[in-house]
Structure 1
Amino acid sequence: MPTWLEVALRTLSAVFILFVMTKLLGKRQISQLSLFEYITGISIGNIAAYISLDTDSKWYLGLLALSVWVAVSVGMEFVTMKSKRIRDFVDGKGTILIEKGTLIEKNMFKERITLDEFMEKMRSKSIHRVADVEFAVMESNGDITFMVKKELQPLTAQALGWQTPREREPQSVIMDGIVIDDALRRSGFDRKWLNQQLSEKGVKLEEVYLAQVDDAGDVTIQTGERSIP
Protein backbone atom coordinates (compact mmCIF):
# COMPACT_ATOMS: atom_id res chain seq x y z
CA MET A 1 0.00 0.00 0.00
CA PRO A 2 1.39 3.47 -0.88
CA THR A 3 2.51 5.49 2.14
CA TRP A 4 0.19 8.42 1.33
CA LEU A 5 -2.83 6.09 1.19
CA GLU A 6 -1.85 4.39 4.45
CA VAL A 7 -1.53 7.79 6.19
CA ALA A 8 -4.91 8.90 4.79
CA LEU A 9 -6.63 5.72 6.00
CA ARG A 10 -4.98 5.95 9.42
CA THR A 11 -6.06 9.59 9.75
CA LEU A 12 -9.67 8.77 8.87
CA SER A 13 -9.60 5.89 11.35
CA ALA A 14 -8.16 8.15 14.06
CA VAL A 15 -10.87 10.77 13.43
CA PHE A 16 -13.59 8.12 13.73
CA ILE A 17 -12.07 6.60 16.86
CA LEU A 18 -11.63 10.03 18.48
CA PHE A 19 -15.26 10.87 17.71
CA VAL A 20 -16.49 7.66 19.34
CA MET A 21 -14.24 8.09 22.38
CA THR A 22 -15.22 11.74 22.80
CA LYS A 23 -18.86 10.64 22.85
CA LEU A 24 -17.93 8.17 25.59
CA LEU A 25 -16.14 10.87 27.57
CA GLY A 26 -19.27 13.05 27.51
CA LYS A 27 -20.12 16.71 26.94
CA ARG A 28 -18.31 17.88 30.06
CA GLN A 29 -15.02 17.06 28.38
CA ILE A 30 -15.87 19.56 25.64
CA SER A 31 -17.36 22.38 27.72
CA GLN A 32 -15.33 22.68 30.94
CA LEU A 33 -12.11 20.76 31.44
CA SER A 34 -10.67 19.89 34.82
CA LEU A 35 -6.89 19.57 35.20
CA PHE A 36 -7.03 15.79 34.70
CA GLU A 37 -9.33 16.13 31.67
CA TYR A 38 -6.99 18.74 30.19
CA ILE A 39 -4.06 16.33 30.49
CA THR A 40 -6.20 13.55 28.99
CA GLY A 41 -7.17 15.73 26.02
CA ILE A 42 -3.55 16.62 25.24
CA SER A 43 -2.44 12.99 25.52
CA ILE A 44 -5.25 11.68 23.32
CA GLY A 45 -4.44 14.30 20.67
CA ASN A 46 -0.76 13.31 20.65
CA ILE A 47 -1.59 9.62 20.39
CA ALA A 48 -4.03 10.27 17.54
CA ALA A 49 -1.30 12.16 15.67
CA TYR A 50 1.04 9.18 16.18
CA ILE A 51 -1.57 6.79 14.78
CA SER A 52 -2.08 9.02 11.73
CA LEU A 53 1.53 9.75 10.74
CA ASP A 54 3.91 7.22 12.26
CA THR A 55 4.56 4.45 9.77
CA ASP A 56 5.85 2.12 12.48
CA SER A 57 4.42 -1.38 12.05
CA LYS A 58 3.24 -1.32 15.67
CA TRP A 59 0.95 1.71 15.19
CA TYR A 60 -1.95 -0.38 16.54
CA LEU A 61 -0.43 0.05 20.01
CA GLY A 62 -1.65 3.66 19.76
CA LEU A 63 -5.22 2.34 19.75
CA LEU A 64 -4.46 0.45 22.95
CA ALA A 65 -3.03 3.62 24.52
CA LEU A 66 -6.12 5.59 23.46
CA SER A 67 -8.40 2.98 25.00
CA VAL A 68 -6.45 3.04 28.27
CA TRP A 69 -6.60 6.85 28.50
CA VAL A 70 -10.35 6.90 27.84
CA ALA A 71 -10.99 4.06 30.32
CA VAL A 72 -8.98 5.86 33.02
CA SER A 73 -10.75 9.16 32.32
CA VAL A 74 -14.24 7.62 32.42
CA GLY A 75 -13.34 5.65 35.55
CA MET A 76 -12.01 8.81 37.21
CA GLU A 77 -15.27 10.62 36.44
CA PHE A 78 -17.29 7.91 38.20
CA VAL A 79 -14.90 7.92 41.18
CA THR A 80 -15.08 11.72 41.54
CA MET A 81 -18.88 11.56 41.37
CA LYS A 82 -18.89 9.19 44.36
CA SER A 83 -16.17 10.77 46.53
CA LYS A 84 -16.00 14.47 47.38
CA ARG A 85 -12.50 14.07 48.83
CA ILE A 86 -11.15 12.64 45.57
CA ARG A 87 -13.17 15.20 43.58
CA ASP A 88 -11.59 18.06 45.51
CA PHE A 89 -8.13 16.58 44.94
CA VAL A 90 -8.58 15.92 41.20
CA ASP A 91 -10.77 18.84 40.14
CA GLY A 92 -9.70 21.29 42.82
CA LYS A 93 -11.87 23.58 44.94
CA GLY A 94 -13.06 27.12 44.50
CA THR A 95 -10.98 29.90 46.08
CA ILE A 96 -12.62 32.95 47.65
CA LEU A 97 -11.06 36.13 46.26
CA ILE A 98 -13.49 38.68 47.75
CA GLU A 99 -15.42 38.25 50.97
CA LYS A 100 -17.84 40.92 52.19
CA GLY A 101 -16.38 43.48 49.83
CA THR A 102 -12.74 42.89 50.84
CA LEU A 103 -10.07 41.49 48.52
CA ILE A 104 -8.15 38.57 50.00
CA GLU A 105 -4.58 39.23 48.84
CA LYS A 106 -3.11 35.88 49.90
CA ASN A 107 -5.71 34.01 47.83
CA MET A 108 -5.01 36.24 44.84
CA PHE A 109 -1.31 35.37 45.20
CA LYS A 110 -2.14 31.68 45.64
CA GLU A 111 -4.07 31.60 42.36
CA ARG A 112 -1.44 33.80 40.66
CA ILE A 113 -3.98 36.31 39.38
CA THR A 114 -2.98 39.96 39.08
CA LEU A 115 -5.18 42.92 39.95
CA ASP A 116 -5.31 43.86 36.27
CA GLU A 117 -6.61 40.43 35.32
CA PHE A 118 -9.10 40.49 38.18
CA MET A 119 -10.42 43.94 37.26
CA GLU A 120 -10.78 42.81 33.66
CA LYS A 121 -12.92 39.88 34.81
CA MET A 122 -15.03 42.26 36.90
CA ARG A 123 -15.60 44.61 33.99
CA SER A 124 -16.66 41.68 31.80
CA LYS A 125 -19.46 41.14 34.34
CA SER A 126 -20.38 44.87 34.26
CA ILE A 127 -18.95 45.41 37.76
CA HIS A 128 -16.61 48.36 38.25
CA ARG A 129 -16.02 48.64 42.02
CA VAL A 130 -14.61 45.98 44.31
CA ALA A 131 -16.68 47.46 47.13
CA ASP A 132 -19.85 46.52 45.23
CA VAL A 133 -18.99 42.81 45.40
CA GLU A 134 -20.17 40.68 48.31
CA PHE A 135 -18.33 37.51 47.24
CA ALA A 136 -16.05 36.53 44.37
CA VAL A 137 -14.91 32.94 43.89
CA MET A 138 -12.38 31.52 41.47
CA GLU A 139 -13.89 28.20 40.39
CA SER A 140 -11.93 25.03 39.76
CA ASN A 141 -12.17 25.58 35.98
CA GLY A 142 -10.47 28.99 36.27
CA ASP A 143 -13.59 31.12 35.84
CA ILE A 144 -14.45 33.79 38.42
CA THR A 145 -18.01 34.21 39.65
CA PHE A 146 -19.22 37.36 41.37
CA MET A 147 -22.13 38.10 43.69
CA VAL A 148 -22.85 41.80 44.06
CA LYS A 149 -24.26 43.19 47.27
CA LYS A 150 -27.98 42.68 47.75
CA GLU A 151 -28.87 46.36 47.52
CA LEU A 152 -27.23 46.49 44.07
CA GLN A 153 -28.91 43.41 42.65
CA PRO A 154 -31.72 43.97 40.11
CA LEU A 155 -35.28 43.69 41.35
CA THR A 156 -37.09 40.42 40.70
CA ALA A 157 -40.72 39.41 40.87
CA GLN A 158 -39.90 37.27 43.92
CA ALA A 159 -38.32 40.24 45.74
CA LEU A 160 -41.46 42.28 45.06
CA GLY A 161 -43.71 39.43 46.20
CA TRP A 162 -45.34 39.01 42.78
CA GLN A 163 -46.74 35.68 41.65
CA THR A 164 -45.81 34.98 38.04
CA PRO A 165 -47.15 32.14 35.85
CA ARG A 166 -44.74 29.43 34.82
CA GLU A 167 -43.46 29.67 31.26
CA ARG A 168 -42.70 26.92 28.80
CA GLU A 169 -39.70 26.85 26.52
CA PRO A 170 -40.45 28.16 23.00
CA GLN A 171 -40.61 25.25 20.58
CA SER A 172 -38.90 25.25 17.18
CA VAL A 173 -41.64 23.62 15.09
CA ILE A 174 -40.10 24.16 11.63
CA MET A 175 -36.41 24.07 10.74
CA ASP A 176 -35.08 24.34 7.18
CA GLY A 177 -38.57 23.87 5.77
CA ILE A 178 -39.18 20.63 7.70
CA VAL A 179 -41.86 20.28 10.38
CA ILE A 180 -40.52 18.99 13.71
CA ASP A 181 -43.46 16.87 14.84
CA ASP A 182 -42.16 16.22 18.37
CA ALA A 183 -41.74 19.95 19.05
CA LEU A 184 -45.15 20.69 17.52
CA ARG A 185 -46.73 18.09 19.78
CA ARG A 186 -44.99 19.52 22.87
CA SER A 187 -46.34 22.96 22.01
CA GLY A 188 -49.88 21.51 22.12
CA PHE A 189 -50.72 21.97 18.43
CA ASP A 190 -50.92 19.86 15.29
CA ARG A 191 -50.04 20.17 11.59
CA LYS A 192 -53.52 21.42 10.69
CA TRP A 193 -53.10 24.36 13.06
CA LEU A 194 -49.58 25.00 11.79
CA ASN A 195 -50.67 24.99 8.14
CA GLN A 196 -53.40 27.45 9.03
CA GLN A 197 -50.85 29.77 10.66
CA LEU A 198 -48.62 29.63 7.59
CA SER A 199 -51.59 30.32 5.34
CA GLU A 200 -52.63 33.36 7.38
CA LYS A 201 -49.10 34.77 7.18
CA GLY A 202 -48.85 34.04 3.46
CA VAL A 203 -45.80 31.81 3.76
CA LYS A 204 -45.16 28.41 2.18
CA LEU A 205 -43.60 25.62 4.27
CA GLU A 206 -40.54 25.31 2.03
CA GLU A 207 -39.84 29.04 2.47
CA VAL A 208 -39.58 28.79 6.26
CA TYR A 209 -36.05 28.74 7.66
CA LEU A 210 -37.19 28.68 11.30
CA ALA A 211 -40.60 28.86 12.99
CA GLN A 212 -41.10 28.95 16.76
CA VAL A 213 -44.17 28.76 18.97
CA ASP A 214 -44.06 30.52 22.34
CA ASP A 215 -45.97 29.80 25.54
CA ALA A 216 -48.92 31.95 24.43
CA GLY A 217 -49.28 30.08 21.13
CA ASP A 218 -47.87 32.91 19.02
CA VAL A 219 -45.81 31.92 15.99
CA THR A 220 -42.72 33.79 14.76
CA ILE A 221 -41.30 32.86 11.37
CA GLN A 222 -37.85 33.46 9.90
CA THR A 223 -37.54 33.00 6.13
CA GLY A 224 -33.81 33.72 5.98
CA GLU A 225 -34.53 37.12 4.50
CA ARG A 226 -37.15 38.54 6.89
CA SER A 227 -38.88 37.96 10.20
CA ILE A 228 -42.68 37.49 10.26
CA PRO A 229 -44.28 38.00 13.71
Structure 2
Amino acid sequence: MDVVLRATAMFFILFLLVRLLGKRELGQMTPFEVVVLVVMGDLIQQGITHNDFSLTGATLAIVTFAFWGLVLGWLVYLFPRLKGALEGEPRVIVRHGELLEANLRRDRMTRGEVESEMRLAGIARMADVDWAILEPSGKISFIKRDGGGESRQRNETSPT
Protein backbone atom coordinates (compact mmCIF):
# COMPACT_ATOMS: atom_id res chain seq x y z
CA MET A 1 0.00 0.00 0.00
CA ASP A 2 2.95 2.30 0.65
CA VAL A 3 3.97 2.06 -3.02
CA VAL A 4 0.48 3.09 -4.14
CA LEU A 5 0.49 6.16 -1.87
CA ARG A 6 3.96 7.23 -3.03
CA ALA A 7 3.02 6.63 -6.70
CA THR A 8 -0.12 8.73 -6.22
CA ALA A 9 1.87 11.59 -4.73
CA MET A 10 4.46 11.40 -7.52
CA PHE A 11 1.71 11.28 -10.18
CA PHE A 12 0.27 14.59 -9.03
CA ILE A 13 3.71 16.19 -8.62
CA LEU A 14 4.55 15.19 -12.22
CA PHE A 15 1.14 16.33 -13.44
CA LEU A 16 1.71 19.80 -11.98
CA LEU A 17 5.28 19.90 -13.30
CA VAL A 18 4.17 19.06 -16.85
CA ARG A 19 1.43 21.71 -16.68
CA LEU A 20 3.97 24.30 -15.50
CA LEU A 21 6.39 23.45 -18.32
CA GLY A 22 3.88 24.76 -20.83
CA LYS A 23 2.55 23.52 -24.11
CA ARG A 24 5.48 23.99 -26.42
CA GLU A 25 8.19 22.79 -24.03
CA LEU A 26 7.30 19.11 -24.38
CA GLY A 27 7.15 19.31 -28.15
CA GLN A 28 10.54 21.01 -28.47
CA MET A 29 12.82 19.09 -26.16
CA THR A 30 16.56 19.28 -26.71
CA PRO A 31 18.66 16.10 -26.42
CA PHE A 32 19.83 17.29 -22.99
CA GLU A 33 16.22 17.71 -21.82
CA VAL A 34 15.43 14.16 -22.99
CA VAL A 35 18.35 12.85 -20.93
CA VAL A 36 17.15 14.87 -17.91
CA LEU A 37 13.67 13.39 -18.35
CA VAL A 38 15.08 9.85 -18.41
CA VAL A 39 17.14 10.54 -15.28
CA MET A 40 14.04 12.03 -13.62
CA GLY A 41 12.18 8.81 -14.45
CA ASP A 42 14.79 6.76 -12.65
CA LEU A 43 14.78 9.10 -9.64
CA ILE A 44 10.99 8.96 -9.51
CA GLN A 45 11.07 5.17 -9.62
CA GLN A 46 13.47 5.08 -6.71
CA GLY A 47 11.32 7.55 -4.78
CA ILE A 48 8.19 5.50 -5.34
CA THR A 49 9.58 2.06 -4.64
CA HIS A 50 12.39 2.86 -2.17
CA ASN A 51 14.67 0.81 -4.43
CA ASP A 52 12.12 -2.00 -4.38
CA PHE A 53 13.18 -3.88 -7.51
CA SER A 54 10.41 -6.44 -7.16
CA LEU A 55 7.92 -7.06 -9.92
CA THR A 56 5.12 -6.30 -7.47
CA GLY A 57 6.46 -2.83 -6.60
CA ALA A 58 6.96 -1.87 -10.24
CA THR A 59 3.53 -3.20 -11.19
CA LEU A 60 1.84 -1.27 -8.38
CA ALA A 61 3.58 1.96 -9.40
CA ILE A 62 2.65 1.56 -13.09
CA VAL A 63 -0.95 0.59 -12.31
CA THR A 64 -1.28 3.56 -9.94
CA PHE A 65 -0.09 5.99 -12.64
CA ALA A 66 -2.45 4.40 -15.17
CA PHE A 67 -5.33 4.56 -12.67
CA TRP A 68 -4.89 8.28 -12.01
CA GLY A 69 -4.49 8.99 -15.72
CA LEU A 70 -7.77 7.16 -16.34
CA VAL A 71 -9.50 8.97 -13.46
CA LEU A 72 -8.45 12.37 -14.80
CA GLY A 73 -9.60 11.38 -18.29
CA TRP A 74 -13.01 10.39 -16.96
CA LEU A 75 -13.27 13.57 -14.89
CA VAL A 76 -12.72 15.66 -18.02
CA TYR A 77 -15.31 13.59 -19.87
CA LEU A 78 -17.92 13.74 -17.09
CA PHE A 79 -17.23 17.35 -16.08
CA PRO A 80 -16.24 19.34 -19.20
CA ARG A 81 -15.59 22.45 -17.10
CA LEU A 82 -12.48 20.72 -15.72
CA LYS A 83 -10.95 20.43 -19.20
CA GLY A 84 -9.20 23.80 -19.06
CA ALA A 85 -7.56 23.06 -15.72
CA LEU A 86 -6.57 19.48 -16.51
CA GLU A 87 -5.74 19.63 -20.22
CA GLY A 88 -5.21 23.31 -20.97
CA GLU A 89 -7.01 25.71 -23.29
CA PRO A 90 -6.20 26.71 -26.84
CA ARG A 91 -4.60 30.15 -27.04
CA VAL A 92 -4.79 32.57 -29.97
CA ILE A 93 -1.27 33.72 -30.89
CA VAL A 94 -2.03 35.50 -34.19
CA ARG A 95 -5.22 37.44 -34.91
CA HIS A 96 -5.82 38.94 -38.36
CA GLY A 97 -2.11 38.96 -39.19
CA GLU A 98 -1.09 40.53 -35.85
CA LEU A 99 1.15 38.58 -33.47
CA LEU A 100 -0.24 38.65 -29.91
CA GLU A 101 2.95 39.14 -27.89
CA ALA A 102 1.29 38.72 -24.48
CA ASN A 103 0.00 35.27 -25.42
CA LEU A 104 3.40 34.28 -26.80
CA ARG A 105 5.05 35.31 -23.52
CA ARG A 106 2.61 33.14 -21.54
CA ASP A 107 3.87 30.09 -23.43
CA ARG A 108 7.48 31.27 -23.76
CA MET A 109 7.36 31.29 -27.56
CA THR A 110 9.21 33.64 -29.88
CA ARG A 111 8.19 35.24 -33.13
CA GLY A 112 10.83 33.15 -34.86
CA GLU A 113 9.26 29.91 -33.65
CA VAL A 114 5.85 30.96 -34.95
CA GLU A 115 7.35 32.01 -38.28
CA SER A 116 9.15 28.67 -38.55
CA GLU A 117 5.86 26.82 -38.01
CA MET A 118 4.19 29.10 -40.57
CA ARG A 119 6.80 28.13 -43.17
CA LEU A 120 6.25 24.43 -42.40
CA ALA A 121 2.53 25.04 -43.01
CA GLY A 122 3.31 26.71 -46.34
CA ILE A 123 2.60 30.26 -45.18
CA ALA A 124 5.15 32.89 -46.19
CA ARG A 125 4.01 36.04 -44.41
CA MET A 126 2.35 36.89 -41.11
CA ALA A 127 -0.14 39.02 -43.05
CA ASP A 128 -1.39 35.81 -44.73
CA VAL A 129 -2.51 34.38 -41.36
CA ASP A 130 -6.03 35.16 -40.23
CA TRP A 131 -5.71 33.12 -37.03
CA ALA A 132 -3.00 31.02 -35.41
CA ILE A 133 -3.99 29.01 -32.37
CA LEU A 134 -1.66 27.18 -30.01
CA GLU A 135 -3.57 24.00 -29.20
CA PRO A 136 -3.35 22.24 -25.80
CA SER A 137 -1.35 19.48 -27.50
CA GLY A 138 1.37 22.00 -28.43
CA LYS A 139 0.46 22.06 -32.13
CA ILE A 140 -0.23 25.33 -33.88
CA SER A 141 -3.33 25.56 -36.09
CA PHE A 142 -3.11 28.16 -38.85
CA ILE A 143 -6.13 29.58 -40.62
CA LYS A 144 -5.06 31.47 -43.73
CA ARG A 145 -6.66 34.62 -45.09
CA ASP A 146 -8.17 34.54 -48.53
CA GLY A 147 -8.10 37.51 -50.87
CA GLY A 148 -10.94 39.27 -49.02
CA GLY A 149 -9.55 38.66 -45.56
CA GLU A 150 -11.95 35.80 -44.78
CA SER A 151 -10.79 32.53 -43.24
CA ARG A 152 -10.40 29.83 -45.87
CA GLN A 153 -7.83 27.13 -45.09
CA ARG A 154 -6.70 25.38 -41.94
CA ASN A 155 -3.24 23.89 -41.55
CA GLU A 156 -1.86 22.22 -38.44
CA THR A 157 1.79 21.84 -37.63
CA SER A 158 3.63 20.48 -34.66
CA PRO A 159 6.52 22.40 -33.11
CA THR A 160 9.79 20.58 -33.63
Given candidates 97, 112, 117, the residue that maps to 2:93 is 97
Cα offset, 1:65, TM superposition: 1.4
Given candidates 98, 105, 108, the residue that maps to 2:104 is 108
| Structure 2 Cα separation of the partners of residues 150 and 72 of structure 1 | 45
Q: Which amino acid aligns with 2:94?
A: I
What secondary structure, in the 3-state scheme, does the structure 1 residue paired with 2:131 have? strand
Structure 1: gaps (5+ residues):
1-33, 155-229
* Mapping for residues 53-68 of structure 1, pairs under 5 Å: 56=52, 58-68=54-64
Q: How many equivalent residue pairs?
A: 113
Cα offset, 1:59, TM superposition: 4.6
The answer to whether residue 123 in structure 2 is matched with residue 127 in structure 1 is: yes
How far does the alpha carbon of each residue in 1:116-175 deviate from its partner, in whole angstroms, 9 at most, with x for none?
A: 111100000000111111100000111111000133847xxxxxxxxxxxxxxxxxxxxx
Q: Which amino acid aligns with 1:132?
A: D
Given candidates 79, 83, 92, the residue that maps to 1:83 is 79
**Which protein, 1 or 2, shows the higher relative CO under an 8 Å CA cutoff with sep ≥ 6?**
2
| Structure 2 Cα separation of the partners of residues 72 and 140 of structure 1 | 20
Cα offset, 1:88, TM superposition: 0.7
Cα offset, 1:61, TM superposition: 1.8
Deviating runs (4+, > 6 A) in structure 1?
none
| Structure 2 Cα separation of the partners of residues 55 and 105 of structure 1 | 46
Cα offset, 1:75, TM superposition: 1.3
| Structure 2 Cα separation of the partners of residues 57 and 128 of structure 1 | 54
The answer to whether residue 136 in structure 2 is matched with residue 140 in structure 1 is: yes
What secondary structure, in the 3-state scheme, does the structure 2 residue paired with 1:107 have? helix
| Structure 2 Cα separation of the partners of residues 100 and 67 of structure 1 | 47
TM score, norm. by length of structure 2: 0.59
| Structure 2 Cα separation of the partners of residues 96 and 78 of structure 1 | 27
| Structure 2 Cα separation of the partners of residues 149 and 95 of structure 1 | 19
Relative to its length, the structure with more helix (as a share) is 2
Structure 2: gaps (5+ residues):
1-17, 20-25, 27-37, 154-160
Could you tell me the percent identity over the aligned residues?
23
Cα offset, 1:108, TM superposition: 1.0
* CA distance 1:94–1:56, change in 2 (3 Å): closer
Q: RMSD across aligned C-alpha pairs, in angstroms?
A: 3.2
TM score, norm. by length of structure 1: 0.43
* Mapping for residues 39-58 of structure 1, pairs under 5 Å: 46=42, 56=52, 58=54
| Structure 1 Cα separation of the partners of residues 89 and 121 of structure 2 | 22
What secondary structure, in the 3-state scheme, does the structure 1 residue paired with 2:133 have? strand
Aligned to 2:69: 73
